[in-house]
Amino acid sequence: MNYFIEEFWGLKNVSTIHDIKAKGNRIVKIINSKEGWFVLKSFDPSLSDQQITQYTNTLSYLGASQYRLSPNILMANDGALYKKHNSRYMYIMEYIHGEQLQENSEDEFALGQVSALLHKIHNYPTQSGLNVEERIENMYRRFHKYSFKKEYDQIIKSLPNFNSLRQSFIHTDIGPHNAIKTSEGKVIFIDLDDAGNGSTLIDVGYPLITQFIRYKDSGELAFNIENARAFFEGYFSGMEMSIKKKNSFLMEQYLCSLCTCQVMERKQ
């Protein structure tokens, strides 16, 4: 593989530093070369041409935008954004030197700020990899044997038409685990493979059910209100909105996230 990288991307003296645990069909490697450190992402043959094109176009688009929100993708010698090797698609992007964000108030505030910047991007031509309608349809079938099926279906039926709500560029899995803070204090999103245009409320409400709520050892739910408040204070800090509008927007997020707590499963 190192020879393949050297041949098609023109990097010299390529070696693997270490592998990063990745979900699904992904392999992620930190590589070193004469030109510096990079990240190699590789996918098994089940990935379609359309998907790899979407993944790489997203990084290229963000790299050319006015906001520095993601790692830059490294083009191959022939200008291609990705290559295929041994039936696996792969692309290379810059390695972001820094530290992963932590679940504390300071980092959540910074995460909220950069999330608001991401949502200022409108009219992105490609939909995100998050198909809400398909997930909702699957939920109707998933619990058909459970005693609470009727009540569960009522929750699903109460969901709004997300396509009619605010639309913007969305990450689909906002959280400290998917963001790096550089030595200059700038926050950069990583793992944007499923990013694209979609419902802003889903994206910004998602942390309410994946970050700020945790199960205790006793099985009870605990809500980290400090981190939640920090995230949304950061999110609204750069917006010119009245308190009434902010409260209304936050309530919409909260209600949507409550309704979708079973639909929007945390990615494995």
- Predicted pLDDT of residue 174: 94
Residues 6 or more apart whose Cβ sits within 8 Å of residue 66:
none
pLDDT at 88: 92
Say which residue the tokens 């990097």 belong to.
Answer: 11
Identify the pLDDT of residue 78.
Answer: 96
Predicted pLDDT at 249: 59
- Give alpha helix (H) positions in the chain: 2-9, 49-64, 105-118, 132-142, 149-157, 200-205, 207-210, 225-236, 243-259
What pLDDT is recorded for position 118?
A: 94
Residues 6+ apart with CB under 8 A from 168: 118, 119, 120, 121, 122, 124, 197, 198, 200, 203
pLDDT for res 252 = 56
Report residues of the chain scoring pLDDT below 50. Answer: 255, 258-268
Topology of 100-259 in CATH? Answer: Aminoglycoside 3'-phosphotransferase; Chain: A, domain 2 (3.90.1200)
Q: Quick one: pLDDT at residue 246?
A: 58
- Determine the pLDDT at residue 210: 81
CATH number of 2-95: 3.30.200.20
Domain boundaries, the chain: 2-95, 100-259
Tokens 């792969």 sit at which residue? 90
Which residues are paired to 94 by β-bridges? 38
Residue 245: its pLDDT value, please? 62
Residue with tokens 């309704």: 259
